Amino acid sequence: MERTLKEGDLVTYTKLNPKNIDLEIGDIVVASHPKTKNKLIIKRIHRIYQNKFDLRGDNSLSSTDTRELGLFELDLIIGKVDKIFSN
């Protein structure tokens, strides 16, 4: 699978509404990095386990994702990507 995002691309996203969590497998989300404060990452939802998310990069050979960082808690997910602007 080709990478969806390339370095320099811009995205817009909608912040999650805690009263109506609408996330599905395949959605691209913005999340807080679980180990690096004030760092955001953009990944695709690969699997959902109750309120924990398996987030993966499209380029699996060079992605830092759930396989290295563990499952993401819901409170780490900030929003869902609406649009990608290619550079």
CATH number at residue 67: 2.10.109.10
Q: What is the Cα 36 distance to its own chain's centre?
A: 15
Per DSSP, the three-state class of 29 is: strand
Number of domains in the chain: 1
The mean of the pLDDT values for the chain is 91
pTM of the prediction? Answer: 0.90
Residue 22 inside a domain? The answer is yes
* Alpha helices (H) along 1-87: 66-69
Show Cβ contacts of residue 5 under 8 Å, excluding neighbours closer than 6 positions: 11, 28, 42, 58, 84
Q: Which domain holds residue 56?
A: 10-85
CA–CA dist 3, 57 (Å, integer): 8
pLDDT tens-place string over residues 40-58 = 999 999 999 988 999 999 8
Given a cut of 90, whether residue 83 has pLDDT beyond it is yes
State the pLDDT at residue 2.
53
pLDDT: which is higher, 52 or 4: 52
Given a cut of 90, whether residue 18 has pLDDT beyond it is no
Residue 61 inside a domain? The answer is yes
Per DSSP, the three-state class of 74 is: helix
